[in-house]
Amino acid sequence: MKHILACLLMGAVLAAPCAYDAFSPEPSPLAGLVALSVIHLQP
């Protein structure tokens, strides 16, 4: 149960900058960092 909660929390944290980008006229620097880290983590 704790593992599922942690995954949901991580998902929310990662989705937040994307939601901000979608609703905000200017892109957030945080979204850029998340995108870079996601690209970096992929093998």
pLDDT at 43: 66
Residue range 4-41, pLDDT digits in tens: 888 788 888 777 776 766 676 666 676 677 777 777 77
pLDDT at 15: 78
Range of the domain at 35: 2-41
Question: How many distinct helices (H) and strands (E) make up the chain?
Answer: 2, 0
Q: How far apart are CA 35 and CA 1, in angstroms?
A: 28
Domain count of the chain?
1
Q: How far apart are CA 2 and CA 8, in angstroms?
A: 10
pLDDT at 13: 79
